[in-house]
Amino acid sequence: MLKLYDYSDSGNGYKVRLLLNQLGREYELIEKDILAGETRTPEFLSLNPNGRIPLLQTEEGSHLPESNAILFYLAEGTDFLPGPGLERAQTLQWMFFEQYSHEPNIATSRFLLRHRPDSPERQAALNLRRGPGKAALAVMERHLTDRDFFVAGRYTIADMALYAYTHVADQGGFDLAPYPALNRWLDRVAAQPGYFPMLEEG
């Protein structure tokens, strides 16, 4: 059976749990408390030298890190990942956008507000991420103005990847009211079969 090493408050982990639920795949969940250093133990580092969750153990016992690589692995051959060619590359385009332009700003702001005490250093770190985070949301809004989903006119792993930290962006101090197309997309994702919001059971 698949095993998922994860931390329940992680949006990167939530992406994978959402896909697994929507695929109807069974898996064993192994909670690792990143705040307690449980992903930096010698035992965990022997499974993922980069010391991060989520980490998937495949049916064959291999260990695959990086949330978006896990999404790709599990979705290959299903409707959640377009076939070879431009649409598949566009799916990856938005997943790389998510990890480079979105997550480091929006997820990191949420982490700082939830798990670090207020301080001038925390405020400076939040300030650095405000502009780039809003820019990422604006890029999404523009793309969604005349589209229902990010790629291929249907719900794919690009939507799952971007949904994870967008639907809790308010917890990072990002007000989503100025993004009407993005809000309609959030509702569309939440209406998918097998959907559950972060921090609730699948």
Contact at 8 Å (CB) between 33 and 49?
no
Residue 69 CB, nearest approach to a second copy (Å): 4
Alpha helices in the chain (DSSP H): 11-23, 42-47, 67-75, 86-97, 103-115, 120-144, 157-166, 180-190
Q: Which of the ranges 1-9, 61-69, 164-172, 176-184 carries the binding residues for a second copy, by CB under 8 A?
A: 61-69
Residue 72 vs 155, nearer CB to a second copy: 72
The answer to the question of residue 167 lying near a second copy (CB under 8 A) is no
From first CA to last CA, the distance across the chain in angstroms is 17
8 A C-beta contact, residue 165 and residue 99: no
Which residue type sits at 148? D
Q: Which of 76, 79, 121, 175 binds a second copy (CB under 8 A)?
A: 76
φ, ψ for residue 161 (rounded to 5)?
A: -60, -45
Could you tell me the two tokens for 66? 């990086």
Residues 16-55, one symbol each (x = binds a second copy by CB under 8 A, - = not), give ---------------------------------xx-----
Q: Which is nearer to a second copy, 88 or 195 (CB)?
A: 88
Contact yes or no for 51/44 (Cβ under 8 A): yes
Instruction: Give the pairing type, strands 63-65 and 27-31.
Output: unpaired
Binding of a second copy by 58 (CB under 8 A): yes
Question: For residues 88-147, which are near a second copy according to CB under 8 A?
Answer: 88-90, 92-93, 95-97, 99-101, 103-104, 139, 142-143
70 binds a second copy (CB under 8 A): yes
Query: What is the binding site for a second copy (CB under 8 A)?
Result: 49-50, 58, 60, 62, 64-70, 72-73, 76-77, 84-86, 88-90, 92-93, 95-97, 99-101, 103-104, 139, 142-143
